[in-house]
Structure 1
Amino acid sequence: MCGICCTVTLSGDLVTDSPEDLNLRRRGPDSSRQLLERACSHNYSCLFSGHVLHLRGQLTPQPLQDRHGNVFLWNGEVFGGVDIPDASNDTQVMLQGLASCAGDQDLLALMSRVQGPWAFIYYQKQKHNLWFGRDFFGRRSLLWRFGETPEEALCLTSVTESCCEADATRWQEVPASGVFKCNLGSCAELKSLQLTLYSWVTEEEQLEKGQKFDSGDFEKYVSQVQSADGRLVAPVTPLNRKVPELLPESNGRAHSNCGGLEDLTMLITEVHKKNAESFIKVLSAAVRKRVSCLSRASNLSTSEAKLANVAILFSGGIDSMMLAALADRHVPSEEPIDLLNVAFMMKARNAKIQKGSFQKKRTGDAAALEHSDPFDVPDRITGRLGLEELRTLNPRRVWNFVEINVTAEELERMRRQRIRQLVQPLTTVLDDSIGCAVWFAARGVGLVKCDGEMKPYASRSKVVLTGIGADEQLAGYSRHRVRFNRDGYRGLLEELGMELGRISSRNLGRDDRVIGDHGKEARFPFLDENVVSFLNSLQLWEKTDLSLARGLGEKLILRMAAVLLGLGNSSVLQKRAMQFGSRIAKMENRNEKASDKCSRLQPAETR
């Protein structure tokens, strides 16, 4: 992973500094440098800045420049589609591939083949073209700011440092709608910036992302290309939107409030078992690609306690439990896995209510709750229960259950110092809650039980697996059940059809900026192109059935896969959003809606 930045001026004035370097360096602590390119004949200049987090192959400083003067900034991981030899660095391979492209269509074809998360900036020196964009799902952050004058025409960056209200509103996320091209020579002559968008399209040209681009305030800068010779081919199979007239009857308790493990086991017919086994296979491959291509030699050769190279954002829910169980298959057996579990301090009264509630629901777990404290939030309790399941699954593995406890004072301090800068340009109450929770979780500073004692621990893993993408594809949110109850299967399909198209702007850019601030890389196995294509190929009832009870019907195929892997009660836990499970939503004690603009994300002088 990297922090990348490019500042463009269309006048004779040189860009001499990049104001975003501090936050970019936190994303890429292993190498930092800048490169200035000035085209005197065309009167424009570009300042490129690259900051590298080294994860695979040989450390390759960025910006990378080839013998033709082309400049490349790459914040991505190639997990398929383009051959990356084991000892090679994907930045070098991608630059070689781009430089060998004979025309625009070759370049678009290359980017269409890449499987994995990416954001890139590529300068073709001889053609005076500047290319940039994000992958189909927008798994890597890239922001843009358009200047009012030729002196600061355009700035692209992974993350901005500015939190000044006047400046913050000028930054927006680059839409994950395709790849943009700017001919700097022509723009310099006109003293005006013009961009061309080559948008994603599917085989049937029906996916929303390939059909429309909301340019917002930037309409005057962007024109969209949809001709046959200028397209990016979407890397996933289109969503199966077929709804048979007669659906198979559900064997579950459709009218009960919740389902149990016995109910779930009874639902596993031969057809469901076959699909669940196929799902395990494709998801396991996605996890393997994300935990295997890491440098481990120095870690495993030491005589000291082994360090974890892989961490998981862990609540004990079905998504994180599946990732942990599959990571266990592919992470070397002698290497620990960090389970990052975040909790925000509850008031004493709320802690008592929380403890009593869980004792009523799970009387067999009363002993585990005996020493309840203000950090015994729902995700902490389910996380501990999930830990026991994982230990049963593989008792030889060292599972570092990292209890990350956050007080109100620390939350306020770190939000002011770091988090609100990273969440921008997103501004809602939900962005605040999720952004803060993910930032503290990814930091990985907490307590681990060792020899019966809680001891300080700081996760040093550079890779953080997150379960985002499961709910969006498998109807895990409450809004999906609302839509299903109102409009049936066709309405639910429409809802799911929108989910991945908007996940880049709702979640992924923000989460990448927040996790990357710790010099760590977010990886999303549920958004692996092969995983998405497999789930898209299934009929709706084969992967989710909201006529079944909560804890069963939503994410049905995932729950069945968990049973086949040997997981227990975690397979039937109901969905609980991170802001509620970690109790950060209760911490503020405000009468707010998730979609409201959050004053806590604004600088103090603007509140």
Structure 2
Amino acid sequence: MCGIALVVSGCRLDLSSLHVDARAPSPHPVHEHLEFSIDDLEAALRRRGPDSLGGVKVFISSISSNPGEEQQFECFVERVDCGVAFQNQNDQHEMENGRILHSHDSCSSLISGAQFYFLGATLQLRGLNPIVQPLMDASRNVLVYNGEIFGGIHVEYHQNDAEALMQALGNCCASNVSLDTNTCLGECKRESTIVDVLSNIQGPWAIIYFAVSAKTLWFGRDAFGRRSLLVHWPTVVDSRFLLSSVSPASSMFHDSGHDNDNGTCEVSFWEELPCGIYSISFDAQSTDGCLVGEVKRHEWTNESLKELVEWKRTCIVPKPGDISSSYHEDLLSQHESNSACLHNLQSVPEGIRAPVSTPAEILLDALRKSLIRRTSLYTIFQGTTSASRKAELGPVAILFSGGLDSMTLAALLDECLDACYEIDLLNVSFDGCSAPDRISAKAGVQELTRIAPLRRWKLVEIDADLSNLTSETKHVMSLINPANTYMDLNIGIALWLASGGDGWIYESIDKDDKFHRRVKYKSQAKILLVGSGADEQCAGYGRHRTKYRQGGEGVYSP
């Protein structure tokens, strides 16, 4: 997970099924006027701090140009990663001029056709061996994936999520499917389709996948939009089709990106891809020689997911019976299947196995399981950290204000993570020690130390000065694009500074821990947890506190 991107040029897209307002590009686009280059896109992905950044080029060219003759296509694949050793690819490569190429598929002689440039930035949290995206399998299918798999696809304890997904996609029907029925076309006998596989993923994700044999590009993001994926549909101004997790600053037509005088937002180069699964089948060529791709949007095939997406609240107070026992059995089974990767961690807390009855217990049980999925199942930090350094390197950090959300996360995380690991609590203040969040954070650390004395909690104080953030503003605006209001910027700046983990901590200078000094510190945690949205989901905290003080635990109905 970290970021993915795709640049497609030399083709025309049929967007009629999506009702997208985009004019057809010229068959021979001119690149001199474009706002940004692939190098700019790579730089934007690199600034997110990945462990690796790789690229793959795919060319599709027609080899039948005579009238009346059946069209045939050739596909060429070329790796363009520089100075990287690939240990996880199934196909064989050779080095040539600092680049890794397919030994039989150099596409340097290709002159015309459609070009696909895939980029994958990986911040690896799972898997024993380092990987570099894009991934390619033996059939030369290409995958870039930004997400996490918590269920729906089996992931071995030693595997990376993207590797497991690549294997699952390679084993299903690669041909395009009907927009209405999601059934395979042709003589394919495989039971699962690509839509089936993506519909069953439990967890946040965004994906770009090219099935070479079917000449079909698949892309999309999970039903709740937990991973960003921007899209630029071809226009006269820029005829490329673009997908990216993040926008380069140079692709923003308006420097400020804020609301204008009349309260409306400027039109952006990018738009957020609506949640769902999409495909583009490149199986035709127009009379002017430009490859044509038909864009389709596909319905989810997982009935439970469809029901959840379309769910409308009809009952305010949850009932214990609403959560089936199979949910708990599934979680226990998943934990046992991953027991090999949990040898360094505490066992699952007894509270998970114990029956739950009250709504509060149901909520805490679900939160605890969610934290285990996001922390204890990761092995990347265990394999690279010696026992003597575990106490120094905290694998997990929490964006910490000392409020209800972050305090709950911290307390539950203590139950899920071995006590030998430190936990960094990242706190941002724009007003030094007098800021309310800094005061509540210090009080929160004292409370956590009381209930979990074996854990070393590190409060990382990140001091910020709004007057010195000019240089960061443009970058943050590109990261949150197409969101572009002042409120978006304020929230984005705070999250950006906090996630950097660059601040100060207090160290003891005596054996009795009575005297401390403030020293510079930068968190090395790869897993960041943030509690956000509960206030909005619960219609504000204040009214619930008032209701409780009046003598009940009633749930407010907005």
Look up the match of 1:313.
399
- C-alpha distance in structure 2 between counterparts of 1:444 and 1:551, whole Å: 42
Aligned equivalent of 1:447, options 488, 504, 507: 504
Contact kept, 8 Å, 1:442 with 1:464, in 2: the verdict is yes
- Relative to structure 1, the CA distance from residue 138 to residue 555 in structure 2 (aligned partners, 3 Å threshold; closer, same or farther) is farther
Question: What is the identity, as a one-letter code, of the residue corresponding to 1:62?
Answer: Q
Shift of the 342–28 alpha-carbon distance from structure 1 to 2, 3 Å rule, reads closer
**Cα offset for 1:186?**
3.8
Q: Distance in 2 between matches of 1:186 and 1:548?
A: 65
Other-structure match for 1:66: 137
- Find out whether 1:419 has 2:476 as its counterpart: yes
Match of 1:196 among 296, 308, 312: 296
Structure 1 residues 114, 304: CA separation in 2 closer, same or farther (over 3 Å shift)? closer
Distance 2:28 2:550 in 1: 61
SS at match of 2:146: strand
Q: Which moved more, 1:114-123 or 1:1-10?
A: 1-10
Matches within 5 A, 1:423-434: 423-434=480-491
Work out the CA distance in 1 between the residues paired with 2:390 and 2:417: 18
Q: In structure 2, what is the Cα distance between the partners aligned to 1:317 and 1:236?
A: 30
Judge conservation of contact 2:8–2:117 (CA < 8 Å) in 1.
Answer: yes
- Could you list the per-position Cα deviations for residues 389-426 of structure 1 after superposition, in whole angstroms to 9, with x for gaps in the alignment? 1001111101001111101233233224x222212221
Matches within 5 A, 1:432-581: 432-451=489-508, 452-476=516-540
Whether the aligned pair in 1 keeps the contact of 2:251 and 2:269 (CA below 8 Å) is no
Instruction: Give, in angstroms, the shift of residue 477 of structure 1.
Output: 7.0
Counterpart for residue 122 of structure 2:
52
For 1:217-256, what aligned pairs fall within 5 Å after superposition?
233=306, 238-242=311-315
1:26 counterpart letter in structure 2: R
The structure richer in helix per residue is 1
Structure ID, larger Rg? 2
- Tell whether 2:210 aligns with 1:111: no
Shift of 1:195: 2.2
| 1:209-264 alpha-carbon deviations (Å, 9 max, x no partner) | xxxxxxxxxxxxxxxxxxxxxxx7466793541369xxxxxxxxxxxxxxxxxxxx
Q: Pick from 132, 135, 140 the counterpart of residue 222 of structure 2.
A: 135
Displacement after TM superposition at 1:311 (Å):
0.4
Q: Is the 8 A contact 2:391 2:421 kept in 1?
A: no
Given the alignment, which residue of 269, 288, 294 partners 1:170? Answer: 269
The C-alpha deviation readout for 1:42-97, integer Å capped at 9, x for no partner, is 53221111111111102221111112221111001101121101001111111111
Residue of 51, 72, 88 corresponding to 1:30: 51
Q: Match of 2:145, SS?
A: strand
Change (3 A) 1:549 1:28: same
Aligned letter for 1:323? Answer: L
In structure 1, what residue type is equivalent to 2:530? T
The amino acid of 2:408's aligned partner reads: M
Q: For each residue in 1:264-323, what CA deviation from the matched residue of structure 2 results, as whole angstroms up to 9, or x when unmatched?
A: xxxxxxx99622222222210100111111322332423585211100011111111111
Q: From the two aligned structures, give the one with the greater strand fraction.
A: 2
Match of 1:285 in 2: 369
Report what 1:3 is aligned to: 3
Q: Which amino acid is the alignment partner of residue 396 of structure 2?
A: V
Shift of 1:151: 7.6
Mapped partners of 1:160, 1:342: distance in 2: 25
Offset at residue 196 of structure 1 (A) = 1.4
Q: 1:304 to 1:70 in 2, by over 3 A?
A: closer
After superposition, the Cα gap between the structure-2 partners of 1:453 and 1:431, relative to the gap in structure 1 and judged at 3 Å, is: same
Note closer, same or farther for the CA distance 1:442–1:552 as it changes in structure 2 (3 Å cut).
farther
Identity of matched residues, %: 34
User: Cα distance, 1:468 vs. partner?
Assistant: 2.2
User: Residue 466 of structure 2 corresponds to which residue in structure 1?
Assistant: 408
Aligned to 1:100: 171
CA contact (8 A) 1:344 1:405 kept: yes
Report the Cα offset of residue 332 of structure 1. Answer: 1.4
Partner of residue 147, structure 1: 234
Residues 475 and 554, structure 1, Cα contact 8 Å, conserved in 2: no
TM-score, normalized by length of structure 2? 0.67
Measured in 2, the distance between the counterparts of 1:81 and 1:158 equals: 23
431 and 151 in structure 1: CA distance in 2 versus 1, 3 angstrom threshold: closer
Aligned-pair distance for 1:161? 1.1
Distance (whole Å) between structure 2 residues aligned to residue 140 and residue 79 of structure 1:
15
Is the contact between residue 150 and residue 191 of structure 1 (CA under 8 Å) also seen in structure 2? no
**CA–CA separation in structure 2 for the residues paired with 1:235 and 1:331:** 30
Pair 1:203–1:87, CA change in 2 (3 A): closer
Aligned partners of 1:10 and 1:150 also within 8 Å: no
Name the structure 1 match of 2:452: 394
Given that residues 312 and 338 in structure 1 are in contact (C-alpha distance below 8 angstroms), is that contact kept between their aligned partners in structure 2?
yes
- Using the size of structure 1 for normalisation, the TM-score is 0.62
In structure 1, the gaps of 5 or more residues are 205-231, 245-270, 346-373, 482-543, 557-607
The 1-side partners of 2:473 and 2:486 are apart by 13
1:143-183 alpha-carbon deviations (Å, 9 max, x no partner): 1112225983301011111345427811111112x111111
Relative to structure 2, which stretch is displaced further, 468-477 or 36-45?
468-477
In 1, Cα distance between equivalents of 2:552 and 2:401: 18
CA offset digits 1:546-598 (Å, max 9, x no partner): 85569997989xxxxxxxxxxxxxxxxxxxxxxxxxxxxxxxxxxxxxxxxxx
Task: Select the residue among 346, 358, 366 that pairs with 1:274.
Answer: 358
Distance 1:162 1:80 in 2: 35
CA distance in 1, matches of 2:233, 2:550: 46
Matching residue of 2:282: 184
Gaps of 5+ in 2: 12-26, 32-36, 63-72, 74-112, 183-192, 255-266, 318-354, 509-515
Query: How far, CA to CA, are the matches of 2:282 and 2:540 in structure 1?
Result: 45
Task: Tell me the distance in 2 between the aligned counterparts of 1:162 and 1:149.
Answer: 21
CA distance in 2, matches of 1:238, 1:550: 32
How far, CA to CA, are the matches of 1:27 and 1:187 in structure 2? 38
Go from structure 1 to structure 2 and tell me whether the alpha carbon gap of 1:415 and 1:310 turns closer, same or farther (over 3 Å shift).
Answer: same
Aligned partners of 1:470 and 1:555 also within 8 Å: no
Task: Tell me, in whole angstroms, the C-alpha distance in 2 between the residues paired with 1:388 and 1:314.
Answer: 13
Which residue of 136, 141, 159 maps to 1:88? 159
CA distance 1:473–1:427, shift in 2 (3 Å): same
Distance 1:25 1:443 in 2: 14
User: In the TM superposition, what is the alpha-carbon distance from 1:377 to its structure 2 partner?
Assistant: 0.9
Change (3 A) 1:65 1:318: same
Distance 2:164 2:430 in 1: 43
For the residues of structure 1 that align with 2:131 and 2:308, how far apart are their CA atoms? 27
CA contact (8 A) 1:300 1:306 kept: no
Aligned partners of 1:9 and 1:150 also within 8 Å: no
- Cα drift, residue 13 of structure 1: 6.7
- With over 3 angstroms needed to count, the CA separation of the structure-2 counterparts of 1:202 and 1:40, relative to structure 1, is closer
CA RMSD in angstroms comes to 3.3
